[in-house]
Amino acid sequence: MLGIGEKHELPTVLLIDDDLVSREVIATLLTLHGHLVHTAETGDGALELLGGGSFTPGVVLMDAQLPGLSGADLIKKLRDAGLDEIILISGSKPADELIGVADGFLMKPFGADDLAKELGQHKPKAQPVTEDTDPVVNPETLAQFRQLMTEATIREIYAAVVNDLHKRQETLEKAIAESNSEEVRRIGHAIKGGCGMAGAMQAAKIGALFESKSDQLDNCAAGLEQLYAATQRLERMLEKEFPA
């Protein structure tokens, strides 16, 4: 992984190339321009790297002719993994069918300006994590609570969740402002776990976003707005279902 002086507004890049020289030169260019870069020599190696869950790339640069898993098959597996910005790189023009299933193509050798221009069209997107139509609280969890606890106890649980979310929003704001991705990841993990146990589905999903996208702080900033909204909806549910 390379990331000296990375700029968090730029997408994290997964570079897949079996040629050592090409891989090192491209990774260096990307790093010097502020990208955080992860590299793999093969398609299978890239999928294994992604399976570790330590990062989520905003852009994939992949050689069009890799040993083993490659081409359209690799692109399909990358799409299945949730990646939607895949740029082919090659010393010769790939088949039109392959270019058609990718999102861009760069012919080797290419310069820093060519690379920057292509990547400029593939900035990370702040994907909505939750919608107003999603349940604020899992109905099954709430039903289980009502079988086991009094209404007053359930209210205390959700009031504690709301209070905790307010506190974590403050610490998240600070961590994002300080580009502290590890702290963002830690807080996201805690929100995902705590809200998941309470059945607060929207907040739990947003916590998972912070945990998985902590190296893409522009996505996290957008997620913070969603966390505010999810907390407000949880407060409204609390007042409606469990009036004081």
Is there a single domain that holds both residue 17 and residue 116?
yes
Whether 96 is covered by a domain: the verdict is yes
Residue 156 pLDDT: 93
Residue 218 pLDDT: 63
- Provide the residue range defining the domain that includes 67: 13-120
Q: Distance of CA 243 to CAs 13, 132, 157, 158, Å?
A: 49, 22, 14, 12
Q: What is the crossing angle of helices 151-177 and 139-148, to 10°?
A: 130
CA dihedral 42, 44, 45, 50 (to 10 degrees): 130
Residue that finishes a domain, picked among 59, 89, 120: 120
Task: Dump strand ranges (E) for the chain.
Answer: 13-16, 37-40, 59-63, 86-90, 104-107
Measured distance CA(101)–CA(2) in Å, rounded:
28
Is there a single domain that holds both residue 24 and residue 114?
yes
CA dihedral 12, 18, 22, 23 (to 10 degrees): 30
- The CATH number linked to 73 is 3.40.50.2300
Is there a single domain that holds both residue 108 and residue 147?
no
Measured distance CA(195)–CA(138) in Å, rounded:
10
Tokens standing for 89?
A: 């790189």
**What percent helix, strand, coil does the chain show, rounded to 5?**
55, 10, 35
Q: Consecutive sets of 10 residues in the chain, 244 residues long: mean pLDDT of each? A: 48 91 90 87 93 84 92 90 87 89 89 77 48 76 91 93 93 87 91 92 89 72 82 89 81
How distant is the alpha carbon of residue 160 from its chain centre? 28
Residue that finishes a domain, picked among 69, 85, 120: 120
- The CATH number linked to 220 is 1.20.120.160
Q: For the whole prediction, is pTM greater than 0.75?
A: no
Phi first, then psi, for residue 242 (nearest 5°) are -135, 65
Is there a single domain that holds both residue 176 and residue 86?
no
Residue that finishes a domain, picked among 85, 120, 155: 120
Tokens standing for 111?
A: 């310069």
Is there a single domain that holds both residue 162 and residue 215?
yes
Residue 120 pLDDT: 66
Is there a single domain that holds both residue 104 and residue 151?
no
How distant is the alpha carbon of residue 114 from its chain centre? 26
Whether 71 is covered by a domain: the verdict is yes
Whether 83 is covered by a domain: the verdict is yes
